[in-house]
Structure 1
Amino acid sequence: MSKNLVIVESPAKAKTIQKYLGPDFEVLASYGHVRDLVPKDGAVDPTRGFEMKYELIDKNEKHVNAIARALKQADALYLATDPDREGEAISWHLSELLKDKGLLKNKPVRRIVFHEITKAAVQDALAHPREVAADLVNAQQARRALDYLVGFNLSPLLWRKVQPGLSAGRVQSPALRLICEREEEIKAFIAREYWTLSARADKQGSLFLARLVELHGKKVEQFSITSGEQATAARLALEAAARGQLKVASVDKKQRRRNPSPPFTTSTLQQEANRKLGFTSTRTMRTAQQLYEGVDIAGETIGLISYMRTDSVSLAQEAIAEIRRVIGNQYGAKAVPEEPRYYKSKSKNAQEAHEAVRPTSAMRLPVQVAPYLTPDQAKLYELIWKRTVACQMTQAVFDTVAAELRAGSEHAFKANGSVLVEPGFIAVYTDSKDTPDDEDDDKRLPPLEVGESLRLVDVTPEQHFTEPPPRYTEASLVKTLEEYDIGRPSTYASIISTLQAREYVRLEGKAFNPTDVGMIVNRFLTDHFNRYVDYGFTAGLEDDLDAVSRGEKEWVPLLAEFWKSFKPQVDEKMELKRQDAVSDARVIGVDPVSGKPMTARLGRYGPFVQIGSKDDPDGEKPRFASLKASQRIDTITVQEALDLFKLPRKLGHLPNGDEVEVNIGRFGPYARHGKNFVSLKKDDDVMTIELPRVIELIEQKAAALDAATLKTFGDTGIRIIKGRFGAYITDGTRKANLPKKREPEDVTVFEAEAYLAEAEAAKKPVKKGAKGKAAKAEGEAAPKAATKKAAAKKAPAKKAAAKRKPASKK
């Protein structure tokens, strides 16, 4: 009997499809991508036509080996990974690996695609196989190469000019720019005062409000009345003119109809799940993946929704027909429109061959499947089901009334009312908004006739102030990224996660607040690489990548065009001095005690405040204190900065008698015990940490030091440590690099002391007229061989450090 091997990405998906295909097929999971670029410089080589060097992902090696073993017993290979560029790339990488192993000889390789995991969809895909789409693979490779080239070139630049450990990404950086520019708008915003006046009218005991729209014969605008005095004068004039009565001058009655929103795309699903359910984009996509891959319902594994990475709003004819039947059954024939609704995406790059995110069967009501789902799955499925069903329902119908009420001949108020008369789709689903819906919805007015008089109860002035634009939430950021055509919906979750992981932004409540590091990184990139964080340029590059996926552009010339201007700019900026590259220092004020200037800036270990400077004529060293997590360089005040220098908290004594105190210094929060120090962790608060926690940190540091120790020298306190960039010698206070060709076990205590003395002497400033003497003393401090070796290695060590580059992240 012939056996066919089918490959999908995940074990959950494999389990579902295996049940659909039966014993003639074996379904295995690749567990996502199987190959990636080697994580070092040169993985994309512009000098060789952007040749890309891939390697097997370590954690997936065992899964690839399992696939290879199964393939030896199979007659054909079916690649059934997801129906997008990433899925196409996974299929291509896997087939390339298997080809290299010589396992594809005389075996057909077929690519099959389905947009929902149902038996009918899978069997239809098997009946219509194709080859791996080279254009889609090339588009994915081009995107990966661009991300790599940007990350591996901009990130080291940030390390040198701003702070170690930072990263920049082709799409991540424009997203950061959006958040930072909004913060600058908020900072620059100046609130303006304005007043509104409302009349409370009474018709036979029915009270309602009307807003002032005309005063002294002129239309009332937002800033027509800007002070309490003006508002009071207006109120008095209105009351005098009205004499207790308002006359109905006009009544305008209309019927307003509202259409339902289209079914979900990836982007709108993320937005609504954030607004309605409080889900992050990552949580939404993780839960949607589970619903797509299949859930066990009464002993049967069923994929509950269609593929969730899509920018299309179209629905299959069969799906529409089923939805209309469900609407009739659940909400009555009146809720079903005469004709089906068809939606077309506004995105110019939407793939209409895909469908919107929808239930695989609208017949599976949320209440029926909820018992088999986790709480998150149940909430998200209900959201998708309701939006999909609502999109095929009748319009909502409102009766609206707008009445003009006059107070004398020169003044007028306007009253609006709106009553829902036919709920239509609103019976199932209404959209959430970043801003409130029309306040007049469901606000009723009594029956009004032109010419009749109403009793004026009172006129009430109300003070207002304009507000700055709101900070971005996940929903509004995703919406804006899509509007600017930055990135693609499937990447939004990873963009947002990266910004938070790098601590460029913090989520405060539901809003993103940029950190000092985020603001300074953005300033550096906009000052020196403006083109590459420009929204239009980023969107244009996305269009080019889409053109590659459609076979309209070649990917290598696209990369060459980008690299031609990008690389020289990186090289040029690498020569900048840090003070020219980053203008992050802010003068806060003057220390009232010493009279010295106080500044706030970003250092290698985070933001800090400084009193004085190294160039002070009195020779006194400057003092430093790190900012708290809640403080910002651009907003910290003199008093808040001074309070940081009053922070030391005494916690008690260690068993050996050493006193323990905690404080915030230039390099962050720390605990001092005797003459020794230990850094506090990110979650440790200087104001609340207690002695047992500090003892725990001291023990952790000692254990880590012992684990990294290569050699000790009796009770001298000197030891050789295995460091991140090579072995070094330390006595707890001084530190010296161990020459690379010296083995730790061969170093004597006298040599170790000499290396430490030499390193200490090299740090001391040489006084004028004493250069030769200092040099002689320094030369005698260490064995000649060691000194020569250290000098010989100095330049190569710098070059080696310059070659270390981080992995690219978007």
Structure 2
Amino acid sequence: MSKNLVVVESPAKAKTIKKYLGKDFEVMASYGHVRDLMPKEGAVDPEHGFAMKYQVIEKNSRHVDAIAKALKKADALLLATDPDREGEAISWHLLELLKERGALEGKSIKRVVFYEITQQAVNEAIAHPRDISSDLVNAQQARRALDYLVGFNLSPLLWKKIRRGLSAGRVQSPALRLICEREKEIEAFKIQEYWTLEADAAASKHPFVAKLTHLDGHKLGQFDIDNGDRAQALVEQLTKAASGELLVIKVERKQRRRNPAAPFITSTLQQEASRKLGFSTKRTMSVAQQLYEGVDIGDGAVGLITYMRTDSVNLANEAVKELRDFIAGHFGEKSLPAKPKTFKTRAKNAQEAHEAIRPTSVYRTPEELKPHLKPEQFKLYQLIWRRTIACQMNHATIETVAVDLDTRKSVPEKGVSNTGSNIFRATGSTVVDPGFMAVYQEGRDDTKAEEEQRILPPMKEGDRVELVRIRPEQHFTEPPPRYTEASLVRALEEFGIGRPSTYATIISTLQQRSYALLENKRFHPTDVGRVVNRFLTEHFNPYVDYDFTARLEDQLDAISRGEKVWIPVLEEFWEPFLGRIQEKEQSVSREEAVQARELGIDPKSGRPVSVRIGRYGPYVQIGSKEDEEKPRFAGLRPGQKMDTITLEEGLALFELPRELGFSPEGEKVSVNIGRFGPYVKYDNKYVSLRGEDPYTIALERALELIQEKKQADANRVIKVFPDSGIQILNGRYGPYVTDGERNARVPKDQAPEKLSLEQAQTLINEAPAKRARRKTGTRKKAKG
């Protein structure tokens, strides 16, 4: 009989911890959260103190049963879930479920917390248990309630006003705004041409490059040379003035220190793994979780890194001592600073910000562990190991050199006019002492490493160097870059949007909702993403405002520290938010919400041409619903965007119809683009083209799609009752009975193919009638 039952989130973590505990401990996994809000309206009740209605997560109910059963044989329950709000909430929810079952009577309940899964850390935690932190639980509940209230009230409004299936999130929406605003900056950017002049020179036969900085005594501005003719004229003028050589008039040498970066926190780990390893934020966190929970390195599983969800750059004193001993032994005493390096933590929440992400033992080198790690585990562990080593090493010393060279043969004395002075500047740098750079260098998104690492030949004032030639170089100004995963995480962190544990979820949600696409490692907002963003920024601006979102995160942090009470925080948010939802539901028409863009007039019909968003994506419309003649519709081609498509491009979509030929059954096959996107037509039936280009699809591929559609249609019909109009069909959510007016699900305990006509009629009679679709535009007409 086990005296102590320990519960953690995952089986991998359970396996590692079990290794450190004796026979008096049984370790089990909850497999993550055991309880969550009911996925329906009313799960959070603002009218009754924001009461929250929870239900057991179905897939984990059997694990709760197993824990309850094991607890009967134990004297004590030790809750050892992760050391953050989510971990605290998992323990609390499990405790509540066990309490409901009466399973806690006579049991000792303890909360144990550790930030690394090692023998010492686990034993230390077991020896110093605490109670469940109500502050952390309240902060997690407040966050969950806020996310629910936003999602369950704002998302349905998007369904009504734009299209079904859309969603809005408390932190997801400001993140989308960042991406959309960057795209607007790019589209509004005006490219400017400018030229630079570079001199290819040589000193003692060692070549180097210098750039023109002063012309005829005046410093050059970026756009002073703005065309090729001017640049070529100056090349000739300066070449003539120099007569094959340049005079060194100034040499500046400076030494500067470069300090190591702080050890990893969640956001910096995600950024560096993206830059250096090409990992997505989600992949980074998944691999880090594996390293934290434990990997078998030959003598059983051991946790290799500390907890990976943290805002803190602090390191434990024991870890710093181990690092300094390792550095001294492997790199020499000269690589150690006189005293340990410390870094400033920006996070306010001391409860969650315990330590930076580091190896549990620096003596477990990446090369030693490589045979036991998967390739991605090795890469991430090596990144963490090197960054941690580097953060406690000496600074790097870099000597920078700047040399000014003149086209004049001699330099006049001070006070004499600089007329005729044309100065080229050459810059370079040399690493005098690599220090920490021997182990690790932080990546950059906008690196100019080539210029910084250029080494110049020795030169001194008065030297004359050979001028090989002067080259004109054409340049164009560039718009701000689109966000990468790394730069988006940095922006989210800078604006205070979300917290370390949420960055990966925010980014994956934007992609899952098709609000943003990651192309060539850069985020591009989709048309639907831009429509949703415009709607939210115009009508719900306070709630997608960066400062508002950051202040709300600060309030959640204050709740977790016990400085604020969670209910008043929710009340302060909810009442104005609900008021705005109700007001916008009445005042904003669908036409205003989708923000159709007028492209112009169709020259053939004289009818207006517009582009708008629909259920299946963006489309061009000729005419309006008020016209006697029905509007015509055509979906956009891949790569076309609502905000940039022109009238000519829009009208060209209606010229598409392509006759492909005939099917083996003699059906005429053609392809076209309609309101709901591109499609293949055969006989009088249609097949949607998903991911296919209607302009290039061939008959062979079209016939494959037609055959797939015929097969799907055949499989859709389970049973037909002749003369009754009733059918049993396979639907998206399972088999159902329909008479064309009502649909009724077939109960799980009944075989659909065995239903009788009477049973089918009974199911239909008990089903609600289909709701009539409200005619769009009714509200608009009523206003007039």
Structure 1 and Structure 2 fold alike (TM over 0.5): yes
TM-aligned CA deviation for residue 332 of structure 1: 3.1
2:538 to 519, 523, 527: 527
Q: Higher mean Cα deviation, 450-459 or 30-39?
A: 450-459
Is the contact made by 1:406 and 1:413 (CA closer than 8 Å) also made in structure 2? yes
Is the contact made by 2:312 and 2:346 (CA closer than 8 Å) also made in structure 1? no
1:658 to 648, 660, 667: 667
Q: How does 1:506-655 map to 2 (within 5 A)?
A: 506-579=517-590, 581-591=592-602, 593-616=604-627, 619-649=628-658, 653-654=662-663
Q: Higher mean Cα deviation, 214-223 or 90-99?
A: 214-223
Is the contact made by 1:36 and 1:57 (CA closer than 8 Å) also made in structure 2? yes
Give the whole-Å Cα distance in 2 for the aligned partners of 1:703 and 1:542.
50
Q: Assess, with a 3 A threshold, how the Cα gap between structure 1 residues 241 and 39 changes in structure 2: closer, same or farther.
A: same
- Residue of structure 1 equivalent to 2:429: 418
Q: How does 1:35-114 map to 2 (within 5 A)?
A: 35-114=35-114
Q: Assess, with a 3 A threshold, how the Cα gap between structure 1 residues 739 and 350 changes in structure 2: closer, same or farther.
A: closer
Is 2:464 aligned against 1:457?
no
2:508 to 461, 472, 497: 497
Is 2:697 aligned against 1:691?
no
Q: Higher mean Cα deviation, 346-355 or 207-216?
A: 346-355
TM-aligned CA deviation for residue 394 of structure 1: 1.5
- Residue of structure 1 equivalent to 2:748: none
Is the contact made by 1:728 and 1:736 (CA closer than 8 Å) also made in structure 2? no
Is 2:356 aligned against 1:356?
yes
- Residue of structure 1 equivalent to 2:686: 677
Give the whole-Å Cα distance in 1 for the aligned partners of 2:726 and 2:300.
66
- Residue of structure 2 equivalent to 1:802: none
Amino acid at match of 2:549: T
Give the whole-Å Cα distance in 2 for the aligned partners of 1:31 and 1:795.
41
TM-aligned CA deviation for residue 186 of structure 1: 0.5
Give the whole-Å Cα distance in 2 for the aligned partners of 1:351 and 1:75.
29
Give the whole-Å Cα distance in 2 for the aligned partners of 1:214 and 1:573.
59
- Residue of structure 2 equivalent to 1:254: 254
Give the whole-Å Cα distance in 2 for the aligned partners of 1:178 and 1:545.
22
Amino acid at match of 2:150: V
Give the whole-Å Cα distance in 2 for the aligned partners of 1:361 and 1:739.
61
Q: How does 1:724-735 map to 2 (within 5 A)?
A: none
- Residue of structure 1 equivalent to 2:200: 200
Is the contact made by 2:673 and 2:694 (CA closer than 8 Å) also made in structure 1? no
- Residue of structure 2 equivalent to 1:703: 715
- Residue of structure 2 equivalent to 1:808: none
Is the contact made by 1:651 and 1:691 (CA closer than 8 Å) also made in structure 2? no
TM-aligned CA deviation for residue 83 of structure 1: 0.3
Q: Higher mean Cα deviation, 666-675 or 536-545?
A: 666-675
Give the whole-Å Cα distance in 2 for the aligned partners of 1:523 and 1:747.
50
Give the whole-Å Cα distance in 2 for the aligned partners of 1:170 and 1:658.
51
Amino acid at match of 2:492: L
TM-aligned CA deviation for residue 606 of structure 1: 1.2
1:593-615 superposed Cα distances (whole Å, 9 cap, x missing partner) = 54544321101221111233344
Q: Assess, with a 3 A threshold, how the Cα gap between structure 1 residues 23 and 189 changes in structure 2: closer, same or farther.
A: same
Give the whole-Å Cα distance in 1 for the aligned partners of 2:510 and 2:358.
30
1:101-156 superposed Cα distances (whole Å, 9 cap, x missing partner) = 11111211100000001111000000000000000000000000000000000000
Q: Assess, with a 3 A threshold, how the Cα gap between structure 1 residues 678 and 712 changes in structure 2: closer, same or farther.
A: farther
- Residue of structure 2 equivalent to 1:398: 398
Amino acid at match of 1:699: Q
TM-aligned CA deviation for residue 176 of structure 1: 0.2
TM-aligned CA deviation for residue 699 of structure 1: 1.3
Partner SS, residue 451 of structure 2: coil
Partner SS, residue 311 of structure 2: coil
Amino acid at match of 1:502: R
TM-aligned CA deviation for residue 654 of structure 1: 5.0
Partner SS, residue 587 of structure 2: coil
TM-aligned CA deviation for residue 399 of structure 1: 1.8
TM-aligned CA deviation for residue 728 of structure 1: 8.1
Amino acid at match of 1:609: V
TM-aligned CA deviation for residue 461 of structure 1: 1.8
Give the whole-Å Cα distance in 2 for the aligned partners of 1:747 and 1:651.
46
Amino acid at match of 1:701: D
* Unaligned 5+ runs, structure 2: 409-417, 746-754, 775-784
TM-score, normalising length from structure 1? 0.87
Q: Higher mean Cα deviation, 111-120 or 663-672?
A: 663-672
Is the contact made by 1:669 and 1:686 (CA closer than 8 Å) also made in structure 2? no
- RMSD between superposed Cα atoms in Å: 2.8
* Unaligned 5+ runs, structure 1: 750-754, 756-785, 799-810
TM-aligned CA deviation for residue 2 of structure 1: 5.2
Partner SS, residue 452 of structure 2: coil
Q: Assess, with a 3 A threshold, how the Cα gap between structure 1 residues 454 and 39 changes in structure 2: closer, same or farther.
A: same
Is 2:459 aligned against 1:445?
no
Partner SS, residue 314 of structure 1: coil
Q: How does 1:112-511 map to 2 (within 5 A)?
A: 112-349=112-349, 354-408=354-408, 409=418, 410-511=421-522
Give the whole-Å Cα distance in 1 for the aligned partners of 2:265 and 2:546.
22
Amino acid at match of 1:668: G
Partner SS, residue 355 of structure 1: coil
Is the contact made by 1:311 and 1:350 (CA closer than 8 Å) also made in structure 2? no
Is the contact made by 2:79 and 2:110 (CA closer than 8 Å) also made in structure 1? yes
Amino acid at match of 2:169: G
Amino acid at match of 1:78: L
TM-aligned CA deviation for residue 343 of structure 1: 1.4
TM-aligned CA deviation for residue 347 of structure 1: 3.5
TM-aligned CA deviation for residue 400 of structure 1: 1.5
- Residue of structure 1 equivalent to 2:721: 712
Partner SS, residue 575 of structure 1: helix
- Residue of structure 1 equivalent to 2:415: none
TM-aligned CA deviation for residue 582 of structure 1: 1.6
Give the whole-Å Cα distance in 1 for the aligned partners of 2:46 and 2:467.
78
Number of residues of Structure 1 aligned to a counterpart in Structure 2:
748
- Residue of structure 2 equivalent to 1:10: 10
Q: Assess, with a 3 A threshold, how the Cα gap between structure 1 residues 235 and 474 changes in structure 2: closer, same or farther.
A: same
TM-aligned CA deviation for residue 700 of structure 1: 1.6
Q: Higher mean Cα deviation, 138-147 or 198-207?
A: 198-207
Amino acid at match of 2:179: I
Is the contact made by 1:404 and 1:414 (CA closer than 8 Å) also made in structure 2? yes
Q: Assess, with a 3 A threshold, how the Cα gap between structure 1 residues 246 and 656 changes in structure 2: closer, same or farther.
A: closer
TM-aligned CA deviation for residue 472 of structure 1: 0.5
Amino acid at match of 2:472: P
Is the contact made by 2:4 and 2:76 (CA closer than 8 Å) also made in structure 1? yes
Amino acid at match of 2:283: R
TM-aligned CA deviation for residue 158 of structure 1: 0.1
Amino acid at match of 2:284: T
Amino acid at match of 1:630: G
TM-aligned CA deviation for residue 723 of structure 1: 7.1
TM-score, normalising length from structure 2? 0.90
Give the whole-Å Cα distance in 1 for the aligned partners of 2:68 and 2:674.
56
Q: Higher mean Cα deviation, 194-203 or 365-374?
A: 194-203
Is the contact made by 1:162 and 1:578 (CA closer than 8 Å) also made in structure 2? no
TM-aligned CA deviation for residue 580 of structure 1: 5.2
1:239-270 superposed Cα distances (whole Å, 9 cap, x missing partner) = 34333332221111111221111111000000
Q: Higher mean Cα deviation, 228-237 or 128-137?
A: 228-237
Give the whole-Å Cα distance in 1 for the aligned partners of 2:709 and 2:694.
13
Q: Higher mean Cα deviation, 336-345 or 93-102?
A: 336-345
1:154-178 superposed Cα distances (whole Å, 9 cap, x missing partner) = 0000000011000000000000000
Amino acid at match of 2:390: A
1:697-753 superposed Cα distances (whole Å, 9 cap, x missing partner) = 33123323x14x6x5335x977476878998856xxxx544799xx9946999xxxx
Give the whole-Å Cα distance in 1 for the aligned partners of 2:602 and 2:729.
41
Amino acid at match of 1:106: G
Is the contact made by 1:727 and 1:737 (CA closer than 8 Å) also made in structure 2? no
Give the whole-Å Cα distance in 2 for the aligned partners of 1:434 and 1:269.
14
Is the contact made by 2:83 and 2:352 (CA closer than 8 Å) also made in structure 1? no
1:295-346 superposed Cα distances (whole Å, 9 cap, x missing partner) = 1111411111110001111111111122222223333333222322111223
